[in-house]
């Protein structure tokens, strides 16, 4: 079998990890118990690896927040000293079976949603939404203060126990049917998961009410679920991550398994070269700001791992499913459809689970192939939220993964697999 055939077969299998996946939300556990390799005195962050000195302010702030939260330092000054002394291990969340949206700050004691993929036999941990008041808070924006600390405790000790009890009873909530149905209801599951939230609520709320617990306690959890915007976002990310992990290490596959930014650099990983990042300067997203007082000057280049959903064929790939999200950027319905059609040119196959009315009931493309990106010059379109330098969401938009990432990945692939050495 020649190398091209091997690659084609490997890519088919890698893409099947994404399309045949079977993710379930099964538990909520401390990160140290469900993220393999996450030890004491270790902090994970979003995007490709970056050291403390080179981090953007949001990440550095997040490092300090993590130290304070875990009690590894008593104040900011001490936190920075300890970090600089090298005592703290700092790494990319996407080098582990987890994913970090926004700043993606994860340490061993935070409670994480556990997503178990029963077809791929993988598990991914994903940070739960921090409630209607703090929203991004600790993990998303790298913030830490009394209010956030109290909120984290509150979630851990008050809100999550009923959910855990429900999960123990029902054996887990299936994520994929929710994603599939929501994709036909106007969600692309990156910037918008309104339908997914409602489908989740419809399933989960009755089960919560059936628990033998005081009504007030159940209601606190219910309110947390229904009042938190974009509640379902982390489940889509977790499901995508668990599927992508399954493709890691697939020899000969040129499929992209990770896409993420840290405000400085943007990086991708590919299935056949696990552990290796291929980076370029992080792009600026283009879109709409939540207020006219914001301009690009206020904006941070891409930061966050949430584009794990694009790896799995949602978000920017699924633009046709969500013209409303595209309309934020002034795009018409036809242009939204054209964006998904454009993505067809760089993907390995179609995902039979996502049948999209706006595409004339074609299935969405899935599985980004670096070779096709290089051949066509079409870079994957990623949807997401725009962050300000100060922290906080200031808008939503789209960016393209830089071509340089794919060029580097291709060269590394050739270094490993080329006969002509």
Partner 1 sequence: MDQKPDTNAEKKTGIYKDKPAVANLGIMLFYQALADQGCKCVQINWIPEYKQSEEIGELLDEFL
Partner 2 sequence: MKKVFVVPNRYMDSVTLMGIAVRLQERPEVHSADCGMGTRQNMELLREEGYTLPEDITKNDLMLALECDTEEQLKAAFDAGMSAMMSGSGNHERVYHDVSELEDHAYDVLQISLPGKYALKEAYKAVDKGMDVFMFTADVSLEEERALKEYGRDRGCLIMGPDAGVGLLGGVAMAAGSIVRRGPIGVIGASGSGSQEVACLIEDMGSGVTCILGTGGRDLKKQVGGISMKADMKRLEDDEDTKLICLVSMLADREIMEEVLCEADRLTKPVVAVFLGADEALYQRHRVVGTYNLQDAAKACLRLLTGAEPKIGWSEEELDRLAQECLCHFIGEKKYFRGLYTGGTFAEETLITFRIQAPDTLVHTNRDNTRYAVRLKTHKQSEGHTLLDMGDLDFTAEAPHTVFDPAQRLQRFHQEQADPEVGLIAMDIILGPGVAPDPASCYLPSMKERSDIVYVCAVCGGEGDPQNKALIKEKLRQAGAIVADSNYESARLCARICQKLEGK
Q: What is the DSSP string of 216-238?
A: HHHHHHHHHHHHSTTTTHHHHHH
Taking each helix axis as running N to C, give the angle between helix 160-170 and helix 215-227, from 0 to 180 degrees, rounded to the nearest 10: 90
Per partner kind, with CB cut-offs from 5 to 8 A, the member of partner 1, partner 2, none near residue 181 is partner 2
Q: Which does residue 37 touch among partner 1, partner 2, none (CB within 5 to 8 A, set by kind)? A: none
Beta-sheet pairing, 265-270 with 256-262: antiparallel
Report what 20 binds from partner 1, partner 2, none; CB cut-off 5-8 Å by kind.
partner 2
371 binds, among partner 1, partner 2, none (CB under 5 to 8 A by kind): partner 1
Token pair listed for 152: 């984290």
Q: Is 352 in the site for partner 2 (CB under 8 A)?
A: yes
Q: How far is the CB of 378 from partner 1 (least distance, A)?
A: 7
Among 360, 377, 419, 420, interactor with partner 2 by CB under 8 A: 360
Count of C-beta atoms within a 10 Å radius of residue 184: 15
As beta bridge partners, residue 30 has 111
Work out the number of other CB atoms within 10 angstroms of the CB of residue 331.
17
411's contact among partner 1, partner 2, none, with CB below 5 to 8 A by partner kind, is partner 1
Element (H, E) at 205: helix 194-209
> Mask: binding to partner 1, 290-329, rule CB under 8 A, as x and -?
----------------------------------------
Q: How many residues bind partner 2 (CB under 8 A)?
A: 20
Cα dihedral 137, 108, 243, 226 sign: negative
The stretch among 43-51, 97-105, 179-187, 279-287 that binds partner 2 (CB under 8 A) is 179-187
Q: How far is the CB of 376 from partner 2 (least distance, A)?
A: 8
Query: Based on CB atoms, which residue is closest to partner 1, 4 or 153?
Result: 4
Contact between 232 and 185 under an 8 Å Cβ cutoff? The reply is: no
SS3 130: coil
Segment near partner 1 (CB under 8 A); pick from 75-83, 108-116, 394-402, 409-417 = 409-417
Cα separations in angstroms, 48 against 78, 176, 257, 277 = 26, 27, 13, 7
Span interacting with partner 2, options 31-39, 157-165, 253-261, 351-359, rule CB under 8 A: 351-359
Residue 245 C-beta: closest distance to partner 1, Å: 24
Query: Would you call 387 helix, strand, or coil by DSSP?
Result: strand
Q: Give the torsion through C-alpha atoms of 17, 118, 105, 399, to 10 deg.
A: 30
Two structure tokens written together for 244 = 């992508």
Residue listed under structure tokens 């969401």: 393
Residues that bind partner 1 (CB under 8 A): 3-4, 7, 254, 341, 345, 371-372, 374-378, 407, 410-411, 413-414, 417-418, 420
Contact residues for partner 2 (CB under 8 A)?
20, 22, 119, 174, 176-177, 180-181, 184, 344-345, 350, 352-353, 355, 359-363
């Amino acid at each position: 079998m020649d190398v091209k055939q091997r690659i084609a077969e490997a890519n088919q299998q890698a893409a099947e990890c994404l399309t045949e996946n079977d993710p379930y939300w099964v538990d909520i556990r401390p990160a140290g118990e469900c993220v393999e390799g996450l030890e004491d005195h270790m902090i994970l962050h979003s995007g490709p690896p970056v050291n403390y000195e080179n981090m953007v302010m949001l990440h550095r702030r997040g490092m300090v927040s993590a130290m304070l939260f875990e009690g590894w330092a008593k104040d900011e000054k001490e936190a920075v000293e300890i970090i600089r002394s090298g005592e703290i291990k700092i790494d990319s969340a996407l080098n582990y079976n987890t994913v970090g949206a926004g700043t993606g700050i994860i340490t061993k004691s935070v409670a994480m949603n556990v997503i178990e993929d029963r077809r791929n036999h993988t598990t991914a941990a994903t940070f739960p939404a921090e409630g209607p008041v703090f929203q991004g808070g600790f993990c998303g924006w790298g913030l830490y203060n009394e209010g956030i600390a109290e909120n984290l405790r509150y979630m851990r000790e008050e809100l999550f126990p009923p959910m855990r009890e429900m999960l123990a009873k029902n054996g887990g909530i299936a994520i994929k049917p929710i994603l599939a149905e929501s994709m036909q209801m106007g969600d692309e599951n990156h910037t918008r998961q309104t339908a997914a939230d409602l489908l989740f609520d419809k399933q989960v709320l009755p089960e919560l009410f059936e628990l033998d617990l005081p009504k007030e306690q159940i209601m606190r959890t219910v309110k947390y679920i229904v009042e938190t915007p974009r509640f379902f976002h982390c489940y889509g990310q977790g499901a995508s991550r668990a599927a992508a992990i399954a493709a890691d290490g697939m020899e000969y596959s040129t499929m992209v398994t990770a896409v993420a930014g840290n405000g400085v650099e943007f990086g991708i990983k590919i299935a056949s070269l696990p552990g290796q990042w291929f980076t370029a300067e992080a792009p600026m997203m283009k879109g709409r700001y939540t207020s006219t007082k914001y301009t690009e000057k206020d904006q941070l280049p891409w930061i966050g791992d949430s584009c794990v959903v694009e790896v799995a064929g949602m978000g920017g790939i699924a633009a046709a499913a969500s013209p409303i999200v595209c309309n934020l950027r002034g795009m018409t319905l036809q242009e939204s459809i054209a964006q998904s059609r454009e993505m067809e040119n760089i993907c390995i196959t179609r995902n039979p689970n996502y049948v999209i009315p706006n595409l004339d009931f074609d299935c969405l493309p899935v599985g980004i192939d670096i070779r096709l990106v290089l051949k066509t010059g079409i870079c994957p379109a990623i949807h997401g939220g725009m962050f300000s330098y100060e922290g906080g969401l200031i808008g939503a938009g789209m960016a393209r993964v830089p071509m340089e990432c794919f060029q580097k990945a291709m060269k590394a692939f050739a270094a490993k697999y080329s006969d002509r050495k």
